[in-house]
Amino acid sequence: MRFLVLAFLTATVALAGTPLSVKDGGLFRNGAPYRGIGINYYDAFQRELEAPAQRNGVADYIAGLEFLQQVGIPFARFAACPFYPREWKIYRDDPERYFAVLDSLVSEAERRGIGLVPCLFWAYFSVPDLVGEPVSAWGRADSKTRDFMRRYTRDIVSRYKDSPAIWAWEFGNEYMTEADLPGPVDPEKWVVPDRDTARQRGENDRLTSAAVLGAYMDFLSAVREIDPDRPVMTGDATPRTSAWNLARGGGWKHDSKEQWREAMAEANPTNTVSLHLYHPKKDGKGYPGYGIAGAATREILAAARAEARKLGKPVWLGEFGPGVGELDPAERRAQVLDFLQWIEELDIPLSAYWVFNSPNPDLKVWNAESGGENAFVFEMIAAANRRLAAKGQISPPQKADQE
């Protein structure tokens, strides 16, 4: 009898982690349309790789995933890669140690029925710095940078393609925000020599949207060689208010609504549309520098959703949260509630709050952790997911096997 019970529980947990697929412009899971709201557990892997973090003798990410399961958060986006070149060397020089950590994290997510959206190349400068090339090498198919990208993608996708915990594959984080910027290149941007970055930036470190798009298409091909089904995301932010003009040498001139929508379509050659969007300041206007000039945040999200439908692609709102600045908990709560209402009203298929359980003091405005100022986030997301569950569009995390 115990064997049968365990087999049933194992099957139930596996079902809870069933991957996503894209069909007819929507997200599907277990053959049914899916909508869900998760969270960014950005450094769950990085922290354990760099210096194992323990809470009461338990690996930090294990405690974190257990907590997410308990509060009903169905999935987490995380960096399935180091941030700086120094830690990338662990993958290159000691793959056994590297994959031991990542294997354990994926296994724990499986056990707890938590979905994962791994981001494979978070920082735009990190791989070029690792292989000794300028950032512009992302634009050359024969570069060491792109060769490393293809190799790592194949390693990760082939290793975890059969895991029910892996819901989708994401390339990086906001590469297009670094593209086509006019003016001189900052010689000290992301220069951290003790983390093995380049010691100085120059013109060869200028990133263009054409280079980024080439990398995206290469990534998509590498994934599809192994996994034909899961969604593939770019991981980009909402396009800048001048993205279309910047790509064409027009500088900071504001894009028209049509140009902005075209820029968004161009930036997402995968089978999803990626957005990152934060709440505006109290004037109600959109997040400064991103989105349609002069438009409110809800209008920007609605325009992106409408364009995604025209493209036949689901929206991936990979980051959302309160606006920048000194906000008291009541203001943060109101802004998160706004987003959750917009996500439901506008039928955004997949979204993730920024950010969970971060030790970075710079992320205090957004950081949600048990007992913290932003702990209200968990119940608000869980309540929104329960409303979606009532519509038959979401499967909450299942209870793990209690040994």
Q: Tell me the β-bridge partners of 356.
A: 368
Residue 398 has pLDDT above 50, yes or no: no
Structure tokens given for 158: 């082939």
Q: Residue 399 — very low, low, confident or very high, per pLDDT cuts 50/70/90?
A: very low
Q: Tell me the β-bridge partners of 274.
A: 316
By 3-state DSSP, what share of the chain in percent is helix, strand and coil, each rounded to 5?
45, 15, 40
Residue 229 has pLDDT above 80, yes or no: yes
- Determine if residue 390 is left, alpha or beta; phi over 0 gives left, psi from -120 to 50 gives alpha, anything else beta: alpha
Residue 401 inside a domain? The answer is no
Distance between alpha carbon 191 and the CA centroid of its chain, in Å?
Answer: 24
Residue 12 has pLDDT above 70, yes or no: no
Residue 403 has pLDDT above 50, yes or no: no
For the residues 363-391, what does the mean pLDDT come to? 93
3-state SS assignment for residue 202: coil
- Per-residue model confidence as pLDDT tens digits over 82-97: 999 999 999 999 999 9
- Per-residue model confidence as pLDDT tens digits over 68-87: 999 999 999 999 999 999 99
Residue 6 inside a domain? The answer is no
Residue 402 has pLDDT above 50, yes or no: no
- Specify the number of domains making up the chain: 1
- Per-residue model confidence as pLDDT tens digits over 212-223: 999 999 999 999
Integer Cα distance of 301 and 350 in angstroms: 13
3-state SS assignment for residue 146: helix
- Per-residue model confidence as pLDDT tens digits over 259-296: 999 999 999 999 999 999 999 865 556 677 899 998 99
CATH number of the domain bearing residue 60: 3.20.20.80
**Residue 312 φ/ψ, nearest 5 degrees:** 75, 35
Residue 5 inside a domain? The answer is no
pLDDT for 284 equals 55
3-state SS assignment for residue 329: helix
Total Cβ atoms within 10 A of residue 3:
7
Residue 136 inside a domain? The answer is yes
**Residue 59 φ/ψ, nearest 5 degrees:** -55, 140
Strand residues in 322-403 grouped as ranges (E) = 350-353
Integer Cα distance of 381 and 37 in angstroms: 7
Q: Tell me the β-bridge partners of 317.
A: 275, 351
* Structural domain for 194, as ranges: 26-390
* Those residues with Cβ within 8 angstroms of residue 263's Cβ, 6 or more apart along the chain or in another chain: 239, 243, 244, 247, 255
Residue 9 inside a domain? The answer is no
Is 138 exposed, middle or buried, given 0-12, 13-18 or 19+ CB atoms closer than 10 A?
A: buried
Residue 225 has pLDDT above 60, yes or no: yes
Residue 5 has pLDDT above 60, yes or no: no
Residue 369 inside a domain? The answer is yes
Residue 149 inside a domain? The answer is yes
Residue 305 inside a domain? The answer is yes
Q: Are 105 and 48 in contact (CB under 8 A)?
A: yes
Tell me the whole-structure pTM to 2 decimals.
0.93
For the residues 225-252, what does the mean pLDDT come to? 97
Q: Residue 106 — very low, low, confident or very high, per pLDDT cuts 50/70/90?
A: very high
Structure tokens given for 323: 């606006």
- Per-residue model confidence as pLDDT tens digits over 27-67: 999 889 999 999 999 999 999 998 776 665 667 899 999 99
Q: Considering only CA atoms, which of 332, 322, 276 is closest in space to residue 300?
A: 276
